[in-house]
Amino acid sequence: MRVIVFFDLPTLTSENRREYTRFRKFLIKNGFLMMQESVYTKMALNQTAATSIVESVRKNKPLEGIVQMMTVTEKQYNRMEYVCGEFSSDVLCTDERLVVF
């Protein structure tokens, strides 16, 4: 199983930034891996372990902001589709526009 944590925390004040950093370091220290900015995931052996992970995150959540968690099976996690944009370049790699004097 996987526990995925999504969060959106305010960073307007120095106290907000401190809480953001504390929460992020908590996740990393406890074995979470960053999937993308503000999205972390951790593998759990079974539902009991996943419940324990969720409770741990609940206890360490910041006072402000939004923290969301989702538990999925490995089969569901492996069906995740990664969509990336195509590479485009404005530089022409042909000699059609070559000017010879």
How many CB atoms within 10 Å of residue 42? Answer: 19
Is the pLDDT at 8 greater than 60? The verdict is yes
Secondary structure class of 6 (helix, strand, coil)? strand
Residues 16-61 pLDDT 10s: 999 999 999 999 999 999 999 999 999 999 999 999 999 999 999 9
Q: Sign of the CA dihedral 9, 10, 16, 18?
A: positive
Q: What is the CATH number of domain 2-77?
A: 3.30.70.240
Average confidence (pLDDT) over 76-85: 85
| b/e per residue 6-32 (b: at least 16 CB within 10 A) | ebebeeeeeebeebbeebbebbeeeeb
Domain boundaries of the chain, sorted by first residue:
2-77
For residue 92, what pLDDT band results from cuts at 50, 70 and 90? low
Q: Looking at residue 89, what is its pLDDT?
A: 60
Q: How distant, in Å, are the alpha carbons of 19, 72, 74, 76, 83 from that of 79?
A: 33, 11, 9, 5, 12
